[in-house]
Amino acid sequence: MENEIKPNKVVDARGSFCPGPLMEMIKAYKEAKVGDVISVYSTDSGTKKDAPAWINKSGNELIGIFDRTGYYEIMMKKVK
């Protein structure tokens, strides 16, 4: 199911520490259009909690957090 969704933008923030990945995600969010799907690759453990919290608080949609080999991927949809 998850593989069917193709992100409009992929942010590769692997190796970047808190708050780097979250900041890059917000930057991508600001540049995106409503309806766009953004994927963030990260290795930072703080972001795994911070990014979903931001997505919910800002009223956007968290599509999922997927464990990949050696990193994880957070997928969100810009709702507003």
Partner 1 sequence: MVNMLVIVLFKFFPMTELRIMTEKMTLLFVSGTLDKLMAGSIIASGGVANGMDVDIFVSFWALMNFKKGQAMNGKFSYEGAEMEKQVMDIMKKKKVAPWIETLRSAKEIGNVKIYGCAMFADLMEIKKEELDPIVDDIIGVAEFVSLAKDSNMTLFI
The residues of the shown chain that bind partner 1, judged by CB under 8 A, are: 15-20, 22-23, 26-27, 30, 34, 50, 54, 57-59, 80
The question of whether 18 is a catalytic residue gets the answer yes
Min separation Cβ 47 and partner 1, Å: 11
Q: Which of 10, 12, 14, 18 is catalytic?
A: 18
CA distance 48 to 22: 9
Q: Which residues of 41-61 are buried (b: 16+ CB within 10 A; e: fewer)?
A: bbbbeebbebbeebbeeeebe
Min separation Cβ 75 and partner 1, Å: 18
